[in-house]
Amino acid sequence: MSIKSMTGYGKGICEKDGLRVVVEIKTVNHRFLDLTIKLPKIFNFAEDTIRKEIKKNFARGHFDILISYEDKRETRKQITYDSSIANAYLESAQQMHKDLFVENNLGAYQLLILPDVIKISNEEDDESFLESVLKDALNDSITKLDAMRTKEGLLMEQDFIDKLSTISDIVSKIETLAPNMVKEHFEKVRQRISEMLQDVAIDEARMLNEVAFYSDKVCVDEEIQRLKTHIDHFGQIIKNGGNVGKQLDFIVQEMNREANTCGSKCNNIEISSLVISLKNEIEKVREQIQNIE
């Protein structure tokens, strides 16, 4: 399983029995799974189904989901009559017959054409049919979206490998140069003392104590080893793949912490320059991780 980007787009279409449903999904990076769903009123009942399908397939990202449809089905009409209104007309006709002595010839045909007696409505939609068409379009969209996110994830994976190689090279150079800091400091201290004391003999024991203290203060062995461990761990995680964005983000934070410590301990110009390059490469990785699921 490869790592996946949180950026992608998928469009799914399903046509069945005169109903055409289109589902478009656009995603960008987000700390959590965040859904914005725009759908026609006819599909309001299926919003929970949409959310469940997205959660089943994705872990993180902001999702803009747009659903549209075209209905070419032959709609069947339902004709019903309002018995209470029809009875009211009949009672009024009977009352007019009694009061005005007119013929009561109100029959079924006359009742049918009177206002509000007949009600004509479209047959209610079959929600199970609508949901099946919607789910087919949704799954088509999810498949295409996932393919795009996977493809971009593969490109990012290779870029991570290249950047890790660069970071590893910088760490190795720092490791090589770090011991020279103690030697340089020893020579500087010796030179300064010699200049100050001139012909007076230097207390070698005190010099060695000074150098030992300084060596412990500027030693970056632990930081170097932790950086190497983090680099190896990072590489293993992207190799295993899956939803690893949060893990990688944590590791990069730790790498940056070690790089900062190296920078604060080292006063060598060459090493300081390498630390700046190291932090720059780590920052590039950190920015890119923000788009990993």
Higher pLDDT, 69 or 102: 69
Q: Which residues contact 107 (CB under 8 A, 6 or more apart)?
A: none
In the chain the first and final C-alpha atoms are separated, in Å, by 13
Model confidence over 251-269: pLDDT tens digits?
Answer: 999 999 999 998 888 777 8
Q: What's the CA gap between 193 and 178, in Å, rounded?
A: 24
What is the reported pLDDT for 252? 95
Residue 39 pLDDT exceeds 80? yes
**Interval 110-150: pLDDT, tens:** 877 888 888 765 555 688 999 999 999 999 999 999 999 99
pLDDT tens per residue across span 47-67: 999 999 999 999 999 999 999
187 contact partners, CB below 8 Å, separation of at least 6: none
Q: DSSP secondary-structure letter at 45?
A: G
CA distance 184 to 190: 10
* Least confident span in 50-59, 216-225, 283-292: 216-225
pLDDT band at residue 248 under the 50/70/90 scheme: very high
Report the 10 Å Cβ neighbour count for 18: 11
Average pLDDT estimate for 236-254: 92
User: Which of 124-145 are b and which e, b meaning 16 or more Cβ less than 10 Å from the residue's Cβ?
Assistant: eeeeeebbebbbbbbebbbebb
The model's pTM is: 0.69
CA distance 214 to 208: 10
Q: Rounded to the nearest 5 degrees, what angle is found at the Cα of 190, between the Cα atoms of 189 and 194?
A: 115
Q: Strand 61-71 and strand 19-28: pairing?
A: antiparallel
- Of 34, 63, 3, nearest to 292 by C-alpha is 3
